[in-house]
Amino acid sequence: MPYLGGDDAVRELRRALSNPNVQSDPLRYRNTILKVIRSMSQGVDVSGLFSEMVKACATVDIVQKKLVYVFLCSYAALNPELSLLVINTLRKDCQDPNPMVPHHTRYPPLVEYVEQPLTAGLRDRAACVRRVAILGWAKLYNLQPTSEIDASVVNELYSLLRDPDPVVIVNCLRALEEILKEEGGVAINKPITHHLLNRLKECDVWGQCDILRVLQRYKPQSDDELFDILSLLDASLVSPHPPVMAATLSLFLHLCPDLPAVSQAALERVRGPLLAACGSASREMRFTALCHIQLLLRSLPGLMGAHYKRFFCGYAEPAYIKQRKMQVLVELVNDENVVMLLDELKGYCTDVNADTAQAAISAIGRIGRSYSDRCLEILTGLLGLKQDHITSAVVQTMRDLVWVCPQCSDTVCVALEGCEETLQDSQGRQALLWLLGVYGERVSSAPYTLEVFIDGVRSEASLGVKMELLTTAMRLFLCRPAETQDMLGRLLHYCIEEETDMCVRDQALLYYRLLHCGIEETRKVLHGPRSDPSLGVLIGRPAEPISQWASSFNTLEPLRQVAVETESVSRGSPEHVTTDLSVTLSGCRVHDVRSGDLSPSPALSPEEFERLWLQRQEDFVRLEERVRCPAVPHCSPQSLQAAMQLLNIQTLAFTPPHALPWRVYLYTHTQHTHSEDTLCRTLILGELLLKVTLQQQPRDDEALRGFLSILTSVLHTLTPESE
């Protein structure tokens, strides 16, 4: 067919359709109609052919009829007047003894006229006609949502819920949901629920999912009924079809929000099918499964711990799957798998895809919050590759790590030397500058590195780098004034006199005036905290209650939501990252020994701890106390560690989660001011093993009691609220 513009094509087709020779030859007639449909499918507006097509509808050829109805369904709404022409044929077709004819009509939405055939369609003998007619009502309603829907139709639809054909049942449910949208959807009462549950097995995957979704609204009247439903659904929970499995789990979570134990058991039961979905052949399904696993891990961090190998990335997987897998891997790390896991992640750091490589590096950084030595070793090793995108990611990761774990700063300072040469992008340079500013006194080459930056400030394009540079120069000046004074002067001069960007200029003016106020004032303003222990909570968020995410489970939301979250966390200087999670723990601070009085430094090495722990008889005060926190062993060690760190208690060793007996070793120093001048320092060592054993040196009963009350309140905070 030669290419014709839209109008020409339509004219050509009209001529052919109204040609009596064509009309008398069924094959040619059908071919012409085919051409119309083809043009329609390619987006040509063929609505002008409506009247010709209506005529073509009056035929015995069922294929032609089918095609014409495809056309009519698309254009009927646009041509209400002309549609009247088709009514007669439609009515006749709808009464055709062959059920395939009304089935194919699909009831074009011709408001007043289609109601009668639709009503007849609901009572048709053939299931395929009933299926179409039911959805026909939904379409009709959708077209004029304001009109009152006939109560008798609604009743008819309700009665069709008892139809022998499973698709009819499901379509009824779907249509009623649509029609009764205003009233909150179809009424789910006990008989309907039980009926639907009994017929569930007969439906196809799609139908099962729809039924399970609608049933979420049902409130079982008794516990017995609830458990009957749950055991009936147990087989669907481990269904090999991921959508059915997910829909069932979602229903479980909705049915028993007050029974956390049941929800938890359900989550553990779907572990297998979920893992299978993660290995499914379709990458989209894998992605969806991963996103949902991330949701589950928010409440049950230990759920997948033993199966970490399933989340190793395949070579050919797309970047979005790899990144999700790494996010999951970070959550799964524990003492047993950390070596394997880091080894695997290290392999991803040199991935060809720069985004994947950077994601892997930042994943290592996240693990570094709990296993800093191992991770820093890998990160420093990566700097040796001298690849700009890797170096940039490593420096950013180190910045984020140091902010949370200040004990890493020594290694980081050593590693920083010389990496400015490979850094290209502004993010990486910004991170380097921040680190130089904060740890300038420990990086011997800091002023020289800074000088290179300051000399190049004229050609600097990034606003972020300029701002960071100003702050860094100021901070470095405070700790190494002799080496920095000159270049700081040059920088300020440039920024105030020549810089065109207002932000940079204002910042420079601010610093300039600040310096006028004297060095002590400047120090006060610029020396913010070097690290923020409250950020430690980010390491392992305390387990969230399931209800937090249950409503978004098995929808589109988890696929989108997490993507946004990771972006915001990984960028920007740590000072700008705020978290409201610390609020949840701030309640612990009201006791007589405040957490501020505790301090994890000077640090104790594990060997030293062991030595001190074993020599307890001689000079330690010993205290044993039972604490009742059954849920603590279920929360991840990271979140416990984070919570403890927030209160300046250093945890030293854990048994892996779910291991029995579960125990934790921890220590802290107290600095308790009894009066103005005497400062008592004591060392407290502790072992948590359902009961708390504490040892203290030297003796200070009050401090010990205070510490104990802090500890118990932390443990209770970590216990989910439902307990």
Which range touches other proteins (CB under 8 A), out of 199-207, 397-405, 693-701, 703-711?
199-207
**Distance of closest approach, residue 640 Cβ to other proteins, in angstroms:** 31
Site string for other proteins, 321-360 (x = CB under 8 A): --------------------------x---xxxxx-----
Rounded to whole angstroms, how far apart are CA atoms 312 and 328? Answer: 10
Site string for other proteins, 179-198 (x = CB under 8 A): --------------------
Any contact of residue 557 with other proteins (CB under 8 A)?
yes
Q: Which of 127, 259, 479, 690 binds other proteins (CB under 8 A)?
A: 127
Chain residues 232-271 in contact with other proteins, contact rule CB under 8 A? 235, 240-243, 246-247
For other proteins, the closer CB: 241 or 616: 241
Q: What is the 3-state secondary structure (H, E, C) of 410-422?
A: HHHHHHHCCHHHC
Using alpha carbons, select from 131, 125, 194, 122 the residue that is nearest to residue 159: 122
Chain residues 383-412 in contact with other proteins, contact rule CB under 8 A? 387
Coil vs helix vs strand at 598:
strand
Rounded to whole angstroms, how far apart are CA atoms 604 and 532? Answer: 21
Q: Which of 272, 528, 529, 698 binds other proteins (CB under 8 A)?
A: 272
Could you count the other beta carbons within 10 Å of the beta carbon of residue 166?
18
Q: Which of 15, 386, 530, 560 binds other proteins (CB under 8 A)?
A: 560
**Distance of closest approach, residue 100 Cβ to other proteins, in angstroms:** 6
For the packed helices 319-332 and 557-570, what is the interaxial angle rounded to 10 degrees? 80
Chain residues 425-484 in contact with other proteins, contact rule CB under 8 A? none
Any contact of residue 74 with other proteins (CB under 8 A)?
yes
Rounded to whole angstroms, how far apart are CA atoms 456 and 612? Answer: 54
Q: Which of 176, 289, 469, 715 binds other proteins (CB under 8 A)?
A: 289
Dihedrals phi, psi of 624, to nearest 5 degrees = -120, 135
**Distance of closest approach, residue 58 Cβ to other proteins, in angstroms:** 16
Any contact of residue 144 with other proteins (CB under 8 A)?
no
**Distance of closest approach, residue 114 Cβ to other proteins, in angstroms:** 14
Chain residues 515-544 in contact with other proteins, contact rule CB under 8 A? none
Q: Which of 52, 210, 400, 499 binds other proteins (CB under 8 A)?
A: 210
Q: How far is CA 621 from CA 523, 686, 700, in A?
A: 42, 11, 9
Q: Which amino acid is at 44?
A: V
Q: How far is CA 566 from CA 163, 327, 359, 362, 570, in A?
A: 48, 9, 10, 11, 6
Any contact of residue 583 with other proteins (CB under 8 A)?
no
Chain residues 38-57 in contact with other proteins, contact rule CB under 8 A? 38, 41-43
For other proteins, the closer CB: 283 or 490: 283
Any contact of residue 78 with other proteins (CB under 8 A)?
no
Q: Which of 227, 320, 494, 512 binds other proteins (CB under 8 A)?
A: 320
Any contact of residue 132 with other proteins (CB under 8 A)?
yes
Q: Write the CB contacts of 583 (distance below 8 Å, at least 6 apart in sequence).
A: none
Q: Are 213 and 250 in contact (CB under 8 A)?
A: yes
Residues in a beta bridge with 680: 672
Q: Are 652 and 667 in contact (CB under 8 A)?
A: yes
Any contact of residue 142 with other proteins (CB under 8 A)?
yes
Name the token pair of 251: 């229903």
Any contact of residue 301 with other proteins (CB under 8 A)?
no
For other proteins, the closer CB: 485 or 551: 551
Name the token pair of 249: 């789990």
For other proteins, the closer CB: 168 or 543: 168
**Distance of closest approach, residue 170 Cβ to other proteins, in angstroms:** 8
**Distance of closest approach, residue 172 Cβ to other proteins, in angstroms:** 11
Residues in a beta bridge with 386: none
**Distance of closest approach, residue 553 Cβ to other proteins, in angstroms:** 10
Name the token pair of 60: 């015995």
Any contact of residue 319 with other proteins (CB under 8 A)?
yes
Name the token pair of 348: 């991803």
Rounded to whole angstroms, how far apart are CA atoms 523 and 479? Answer: 10
Any contact of residue 362 with other proteins (CB under 8 A)?
no
Any contact of residue 363 with other proteins (CB under 8 A)?
no
For other proteins, the closer CB: 520 or 567: 567
For other proteins, the closer CB: 522 or 554: 554
Rounded to whole angstroms, how far apart are CA atoms 283 and 305? Answer: 23
Q: Which of 18, 44, 91, 206 binds other proteins (CB under 8 A)?
A: 206
Chain position carrying tokens 């297998």: 272
Site string for other proteins, 79-118 (x = CB under 8 A): -------------------xxx-----x------------
Using alpha carbons, select from 452, 459, 451 the residue that is nearest to residue 499: 459
Measured between alpha carbons, how far apart are the two ends of the chain, in Å?
Answer: 73
Residues in a beta bridge with 623: 694
For other proteins, the closer CB: 489 or 572: 572
Any contact of residue 552 with other proteins (CB under 8 A)?
yes
CA-CA-CA-CA dihedral for 263, 265, 270, 275, to nearest 10: 110
**Distance of closest approach, residue 575 Cβ to other proteins, in angstroms:** 26
Rounded to whole angstroms, how far apart are CA atoms 632 and 566? Answer: 27
For other proteins, the closer CB: 67 or 492: 67
Q: How many residues bind other proteins (CB under 8 A)?
A: 82
Q: What is the DSSP letter of 604?
A: -
How far does CA 444 lie from the centroid of its chain? 42
Q: Report the sign of the C-alpha dihedral through residues 28, 30, 33, 35, in that order.
A: negative
Any contact of residue 75 with other proteins (CB under 8 A)?
no
**Distance of closest approach, residue 629 Cβ to other proteins, in angstroms:** 36
**Distance of closest approach, residue 432 Cβ to other proteins, in angstroms:** 22
Q: What angle do CA 479, 481, 486 make, to 5 degrees?
A: 140
**Distance of closest approach, residue 103 Cβ to other proteins, in angstroms:** 8
Which range touches other proteins (CB under 8 A), out of 36-44, 179-187, 433-441, 453-461?
36-44
Q: Are 714 and 588 in contact (CB under 8 A)?
A: yes
Q: Are 497 and 457 in contact (CB under 8 A)?
A: no
